Chain A
Amino acid sequence: MTRLIYSLIALSGLIAQTGSATELQQGEVRPAAYDARANIPTGLTREKAIRQIPAINPGEYFVPPEVGDIPTSKYGDMVKLGRNIFIDTQHYAKRYVGNGLNCSNCHLQEGRKPFAGPLWAAYPMYPEFRNKTRDVVTYEKRVQDCFRFSMNGIAPTLDSPEIKAITAYSHWLSKGAPINKELPGRGFARLSKPRDPTPVNGEKLYKENCASCHGIDGKGQKFANRGGYMFPPLWGGDSFNHGAGMSSVKDCAQFTKANMPLGKGWTLTDMEAWDVCTYIWLQDRPWDPRFGWFFNIFTPPTGGN
């Protein structure tokens, strides 16, 4: 309810921009959007980017085994099925999916990329306490939530082949990872928050940096000659619902900072990530299924595209 009220207020333009940009000193101007060699549209020059984008040294992050090394056994078959489900959820877990996304749309590069919710860092941490459910949950139960919220679908049962396969794939990716130890690259980036985020700035940033792939309407881009999305929808009926992690501004900003635009992680400032995610959060998307009955009485359902 607070979200609804806040979004109404924000949309009616009553939110004042609080504070000033702390990234810039008084009188300092942001460098050009263009410099001769590196066009990093967030106003970072190449020199600045080199200082701000963390250099990655070999061995800094856990490296999961290669796909070619999946064993030829029943276990290996389960791992392969899990990988298939993970990168093509639309096809392999069709029964349980209610939108146009795949697992690997957010868990980038087949669930291997550090700071994009890598499976090898998540799997060894379970069972763990989750604030969302205020309960200790197993990995399988956590995956069920992915289907319910992020995929806006139905949770497969704990003994279903889908859950088993995704668990097997995660288990295989975590080969050699320490149990119950926080690995570098787990989850998403950690962010500072110098001021309150503003969707006004977020909209500008979205149009400049995100719209060329995710579409100016945020509905993603579909393939012309096959089913599914080339670039996933960020809002609308085919996207994750309000109960998903990505629907919280914080999670979205942490993900965006580390991974977006694709291949240019860490080029947005922390504040820009907050801003653009606030804009995305204000858009229309399916309701949280836990509260859906309430909202569905008073609001029309979100249309697909």
Chain B
Amino acid sequence: MKNQKKDTAKRIVRMLGLAILSAGILTLSGCGKKSEAAREVAIAEGKALVEKGRGAVPACVACHGANGEGVEAAGYPRLAGLNSGYIEKQLKDLGRKLPPAGVVIESVAKDYSKTPRIYSDLTVFSPGLRHDEVMSSIAKKLSASDIHNVAAYYSSLPFQAKPVAADYEVLERGQDLALRGKPEYGLPACVSCHAPDGEGFGADFPPLAGQPAAYIVNQINKWQSGDRDNDNLGLMRAVADQLTDADKLNVAAYYANRSLTVKGK
């Protein structure tokens, strides 16, 4: 008798649990269906553009590899598995027209002590700039929706890094810079923003692992020369200004030597 009661109680509990679980699954699958579908469409559109190009826009696969893995020898960056927000921002900045030389953008002065006005509405922030001989002209031809689609496609791709061999001492010095930076000169370690394995974090901090060494060196050169100017809070410029030529080569070799697996979404 007691056992029977226990059994029915158990059954009721189990059925309730099942009901709750199935309801949860149903609501979850219902949620975000629309955005999921929109993303699928964007990925498909992006895939078409990446593989075939359109009119004056060449196919991305020509330089960035069939699966967005980049080209080691030429220093063309990998795009597979990058954050979609990051790709979008870079394409927009690459496509932006450079201001004519010598023009200084006057902005509203900030002095919080004089008046409690909200200055963020008035301050003129320069849009970030990024100039590249090849990519700038291509990015100018892309519409906003193209950029969105291409970013959605590339961020959905899986990626498997192929570590490039390098000299032991070079790797050791690169690792020292990557993990510890130069404390006595105030240069932070790469991992403090680009994540512990160099896999990147969010839309502001791109991955370093899996990128061709030549690409990393080129970009640091551009940060230093001012050809690239689109970092969050000027963080990367402050870092790049302190890197010697040897530092660039060591750290680029170190990150090209790292293994990395990104699961496709």
Residues of A within 8 A of B (CB): 17, 20-21, 24, 29-41, 43, 56, 60-63, 66-68, 108-110, 112-114, 118, 185, 200-201, 204, 207-209, 212, 221, 223, 230, 261-265
Contact = CB atoms under 8 A, between A and B. Distances in A.
15 contacts: A30-B109, A32-B105, A32-B109, A34-B124, A35-B104, A36-B105, A38-B234, A39-B234, A41-B233, A43-B110, A108-B183, A109-B188, A110-B180, A110-B183, A264-B235
A262 B235 contact: yes
B189 to A, nearest CB: 6
Nearest to A62: B184
A67 B180 contact: yes
Chain A contact surface mostly: loop
A34 B126 contact: yes
Interface string B178-193: 0111011111110011
Contacts, number: 120
Given A34-B126, A36-B104, A263-B188, A112 B235 contact: no
Given A34-B125, A262-B192, A109 B181 contact: yes
B106 interface: yes
A262 B188 contact: yes
A279 to B, nearest CB: 13
B186 A265 contact: yes
A32 B201 CA distance: 29
B237 interface: yes
Given A40-B234, A262-B235, A263-B238, A56 B186 contact: yes
Nearest to A87: B179
B184 A56 contact: yes
B189 A109 contact: yes
Q: Which 3 A-B residue pairings sit nearest by Cβ, starting from the closest?
A: A29-B109, A21-B113, A112-B183
A200 B187 CA distance: 31
Contact of A264 (B107, B192, B195, B233): B233
B232 interface: yes
Contact of A230 (B126, B195, B234): B195
A32 B124 contact: yes
Contacts of B106: 32
Nearest to A208: B120
Interface string B144-181: 00000000000000000000000000001000100111
A35 B234 CA distance: 11
B201 A212 contact: no
Given A32-B123, A67-B176, 8 more contacts: A21-B113, A34-B125, A36-B126, A38-B234, A56-B185, A61-B184, A110-B179, A112-B184
Contacts of B192: 108-109, 262
B110 A109 contact: no
A188 to B, nearest CB: 13
Interface in B18-47: none
A67 B232 CA distance: 31
Nearest to A115: B186
Nearest to B113: A21
A56 B182 CA distance: 12
Given A33-B125, A34-B105, A209-B233, A204 B112 contact: yes
B113 A17 contact: yes
Contacts of B172: 68
A41 B231 CA distance: 12
B226 interface: yes
Contacts of B114: 20
Interface string B232-247: 1111011100000000
B202 interface: yes
B238 to A, nearest CB: 5
Contacts of A185: 184
B111 A30 contact: yes
Nearest to B124: A34
Nearest to B187: A263
A31 B124 CA distance: 12
Contact of B233 (A31, A223, A261): A261
Interface in B102-134: 104-114, 116, 119-120, 123-126
Given A32-B124, A66-B176, A109 B235 contact: no
A41 B180 contact: no
A213 to B, nearest CB: 8
B51 interface: no
A18 B108 CA distance: 24
Nearest to B116: A200
B72 interface: no
Nearest to A21: B113
Contact of A33 (B107, B185, B204, B226): B107
A104 to B, nearest CB: 9
A29 B111 contact: yes
